[in-house]
Amino acid sequence: LELLCVEDLDGGAQDLATASSLITPASELLDEAPDIADSYADLSFLIPPFSDYIDGEEGLIQTEKELLEAMVLVASLSNISSIEGEDAVYAMSAIDRASHLIESFNDTIDSLIVMADEITALSVEGSKPFSDNRLVELLEKLRELLIPVEEEIYDFMVDNDDLWESVEPFITFWISDSSLYLGDEIVGGGYLFFNGSFRSDCHVEIVMGGAVIAEVVTGALGRFDFSWEIPLNESLLGGHVLISRTGFESGNLTSDPISISIALIPTSLTVVLSGTVLAPNESLTVSITLRDVYGESLANKTCTLSLDDALVEFRTSLSGEYEQVFPAGTLEVGTHTLHAEYNGSLPYASCASGVQTVAVDVPTTLTLDMFSDTFYLSYFVVGDLTLVGNASDLLPGMNVTLSIDGIVLINATTNDTGAFAFSIPADALSIGSHLIRVDFNPPNPYWRPSHDEAEFLIYIVERTEKYPFWPIIPGWGGVPFTAYDVLFGQYAYYFWLLVIATIGAVVKALQMHKQLKARRRTNEQKALEQMKVDLRATEMDIRDLAPARSIEFDEPPNTPKELIVWNYNSFLRFLSQERKVGIRDSMTHWEIARLLGSLGYSESLVEKMTSLFELARYSGTNVTDTDMMVMVYHVDQLKKPAGRWGAHAG
């Protein structure tokens, strides 16, 4: 231990870190608790086991530090040849301190194991999310570290006979705590040294205020331990002196005195209100909990609840709780005070909660409505406000204040509808962002204060050097774009001018489209009439054509389908009479098309003409005037010299 604590401080720190490492698993579990129980509005039943465990760990670490310090002193004394006078006192003080700390260390570990079991047993929605932990295992491992410390004390007291030869007889005495409550246990012990050795099987008395409270017998190494439960007796309250003593034939040995104090167990009252600001139609619920200093609930204790001048006496439940509901309407409008008191009873001390206030008034709502959130510097900041009570009752004749950037500008009174309209010159404000706020400060406690606020911007438009004479357009140069400015503000002229110009352009385009459509329809009708005239003026002999391609007309054709067939037959007659192309009656229209292609006629013109003829002659599909016009065009092109390339007489 001397090597551990004196020569190798890093080793001592490493052992100390073993205790510190216990905080990690508990802290990690504590971090998981809100995630596991995030559906719970109150995590109070989960948090205490973890917080208590961590508090116990911190106490354990502090105890280990003190134990190491005590053992450093023991180790340093083991280097001297003999102990005399003050050295013996120091040595036994260190041994007493170390023994006490070892006892406290074990007790703390026992308490932590109980807390660890509570954490393991925690249940959330039917499951035990913290059951998989190593807390107990680590605690038992920590307890094993005490064994070398106890062995070192034993070696110091037994294996160094020469060290104690000159030491006078003595009896030491220690207790675990000097501040105690009624019902607590006084726990302590000591060592008896006589005739050059630590004596066993000797009778020792523990005396408090002249009365023997415990009798014990020393064990190995002359050690004795005792515990005594303080009776629930009011006469024991206050300060006391304890000693340990033993008698021999040659006289008595008495330890140094130890002073203790005994007090009533402190208590605390917690008062929770359902609200501190209520409307007349709302009820008030008061929840009270009575606990002692250890956090234990105190059941069946008489307490009083004071509301203004009225007292309500009550007894706590088995869980140390009490709840009182004050229905709506039982509390008058105004401010009320309440607190709870517990007069105390053995072994518990009295206590009182803090004074809390509850305000009962009619809620109000003040609504600020700005005409816009941006205003030009030469315009006015315009808006209105409305004040209502109980969410719907208009409040006329009430004083309200209007301030901008914390400076009060208007003190106004609401009209018959609970409203007030305002208009503030914008040039009285600086360019930039501002905060406007309206407040209702009621003349009496009957009404609840309320307020509203909004932000707005004051801006100015500056022409740039690039466009010094160009009209200002919203959105250019950082100018805010608002519907108000465009429709009704300084930009309205340009906007409506653009709208009118756009409407005029659309109307003109529609008129031109209508005229163009009428002109096209007139031209088509003229072409059709001219074709009919040409048809009547031309002598046709369709009967000379092949039956598969011809249609005999009693009179000139009128429909687009008949006109397409007539044009096709007219072109064949043209080929036969004018171009001397021999066409047999047995030839189909596509054979005629291949013949014309071989004679040098344009294949695209021939193919289109033949397809239109096939569509009109053999298909049940309706053909249009447009198809007929296309047919006329292709026939005319084929009749021209350019429609034939390298043709020869057949």
Within a domain: 40:
yes
Q: What is the pLDDT of residues 304-330, one digit of tens each?
A: 999 988 899 999 999 999 999 998 788
The residue from 459, 486, 516 where one domain ends is 459
On whether the CB atoms of residues 382 and 365 are closer than 8 A, the answer is no
Residue 152 has pLDDT above 80, yes or no: no
> What pLDDT does 647 receive?
40
Q: Contact, 265 vs 347, CB < 8 A?
A: yes
Asked whether residue 508 is domain-assigned, the answer is no
Whether 474 is in a domain gets the answer no
Q: Which two tokens stand for residue 398?
A: 């009430």
**pLDDT tens profile 366-389:** 999 998 888 888 788 999 999 998
* In a domain? residue 528: no
The pLDDT tens digits for 521-580 are 776 666 666 655 555 544 444 334 333 344 445 455 778 888 889 989 988 888 888 888
Nearest 10 degrees: Cα torsion 86, 89, 94, 96: 180
Which of 92, 63, 90 is closest to 223 using CA atoms?
92
* pLDDT tens digits for range 471-507: 455 555 445 556 666 666 656 767 778 889 899 899 9
Same domain? For 331 and 371 the reply is no
Token pair 């599909």: residue: 621
Is the whole model's pTM more than 0.95, yes or no? no
Cα gap 155→149, rounded to integer Å: 10
Token code pair at residue 58? 């911190």
Q: DSSP assignment, residue 539?
A: -
C-beta of residue 360 within 8 angstroms of C-beta of residue 336: yes
Mean pLDDT on 261-278 = 93
pLDDT > 70 in the chain, percent: 70
pLDDT of residue 7: 37
Is residue 87 a part of any domain in this protein? yes
Domain match, 574 and 588 both:
yes
Q: Clarify whether residues 399 and 336 are in a common domain.
A: no
- Residue among 511, 510, 508 nearest 500 (CA): 508
Q: Provide the pLDDT confidence category of residue 643 given band limits of 50, 70 and 90.
A: low
Residue 161 has pLDDT above 90, yes or no: no
Alpha carbon distances (Å) from 409 to 380, 386, 428, 458, 472: 14, 18, 11, 17, 32
482 inside domain: no
Give the other-Cβ count within 10 Å of 445's Cβ: 13
SS3 122: coil
Together in a domain, 53 and 135: yes
**For residue 178, what are its two tokens?**
């000097």
Chain mean pLDDT for the chain: 78
Type of residue at 297 = S
Q: Structural domain tally of the chain?
A: 5
Does residue 438 fall inside a structural domain? yes
- Is the model's pLDDT at 47 over the cut of 80? no
Among 62-71, 235-244, 405-414, the minimum mean pLDDT is found in 62-71
Whether residues 151 and 193 fall in one domain: no
Q: 81 lies in which domain range?
A: 1-165
Q: What is the pLDDT of residue 538?
A: 45
